[in-house]
Amino acid sequence: MIDFIEVNNNSASAKIALQGAHVFHYARKDEKALLWLSEISDFQVGKAIRGGVPICWPSFGKNNPDLPQHGFARTILFEHSSTKELDANTTEVILILRYSQETLTEWPYKFELELKVTVSDKLTMELTTTNLDDKTFKITQALHTYFPVSHISDAKGKGLDKKPFLDALTNEQLTQNGDIVFEEEVDRVYQEVDAEILLTDKDRTISIKNEGSSSVVVWNPWIEKGKRLSAMREEAYNDFVCIESANAFEDFRLVEPGKTHTLKATIY
């Protein structure tokens, strides 16, 4: 079992695992959870939690082929730096990962990675990379958020009409036409994204606003891939959509020595 921080204030509750600085629960007072979590994810040390918001860093997917899928941050222990009650409705939690012998053998750069989570009537996550090395490094990354939906056939992604995207299943470069619907496996990297994205289902609309990012990954594994995924029931693909706030593929960032980059997602 892995340790986690629990936040409860007048507006919302949240749970954040120290392993991977992984937000795995967030709900506004008297509302259903805004994050999906697999009920069979077993919270084992060294294994990524299936659901919530895994941090993919310093590489998204296999963007850096020398690193594990989605990088190493999601399975490594962060340090709990602080928890502050900013007011009765707002709590700020900061978790930090610094380079170590372990990270240097995987990725040869000195860095600090900070996740600031603000829990209020919105969930805000700010992922800041600081380059402590004397060489510029390249990162790709994502706040890989799993959102619950009433049923996958009810889900619609809005706000990406006319946006170019890379279909990661066929490697084709295409353009979105209208809302995104889910009738088969979807694994797409939307580009030039500059506005809010909405995820609607039968009951509600979730808003996702990103800063420091122009790429958004939209993913649902559907039936066959759903069977192969770890820590997930076969039919669970019916219950969630991932809309990932990213710097992926061509939206990579170069971070110079002494400089920082922040990827921010606001969800409500």
Residue 144 bears catalytic tag: yes
Q: How far is CA 61 from CA 58, 88, 94, 95, 247, in A?
A: 10, 38, 25, 23, 11
Which residue lies nearer to ligand BG6 by CB, 79 or 167?
A: 167
CB of 26 to ligand BG6, least distance (A): 19
CB of 70 to ligand BG6, least distance (A): 5
Chain centroid to CA 70:
11
CB of 170 to ligand BG6, least distance (A): 13
- Paired tokens of 254: 């170069």
Which residue lies nearer to ligand BG6 by CB, 48 or 265?
A: 48
Task: Look up residue 36 and give its DSSP letter.
Answer: -
Residue 244 bears catalytic tag: yes
Which residue lies nearer to ligand BG6 by CB, 144 or 261?
A: 144
CB of 127 to ligand BG6, least distance (A): 15
Asked if 213 contacts 247 with a C-beta cutoff of 8 angstroms, the reply is: yes
Secondary structure in 3-state letters for 48-64: CCCECECEEECCCCCCC
CB of 61 to ligand BG6, least distance (A): 6
Provide the binding-site residues for ligand BG6, judged by CB under 6 A. Answer: 48, 61, 69-70, 144, 168, 187, 217, 219, 229, 244
Q: Which of 22, 25, 70, 244 is catalytic?
A: 244
Which residue lies nearer to ligand BG6 by CB, 84 or 227?
A: 227
Which residue lies nearer to ligand BG6 by CB, 96 or 229?
A: 229
Q: Which of 22, 70, 144, 261 is catalytic?
A: 144
Please tell me the distance from the alpha carbon of residue 28 to that of residue 38, in angstroms, as a whole number: 19
Please tell me the distance from the alpha carbon of residue 8 to that of residue 16, in angstroms, as a whole number: 12
Asked if 210 contacts 251 with a C-beta cutoff of 8 angstroms, the reply is: no
CB of 21 to ligand BG6, least distance (A): 16
Residues 6 or more apart whose CB falls under 8 angstroms from that of 264 comprise: 124, 125, 126, 127, 210, 211, 212, 213, 245
Residue type, position 13, single letter: S
Which residue lies nearer to ligand BG6 by CB, 85 or 224?
A: 224
Please tell me the distance from the alpha carbon of residue 65 to that of residue 62, in angstroms, as a whole number: 5
Count Cα neighbours of 210 within 13 Å in the Cβ-side half-sphere: 26
- Paired tokens of 231: 């820590």
Quickly count: other Cβ atoms within 10 Å of residue 234's Cβ.
12
- Active-site positions read 144, 244
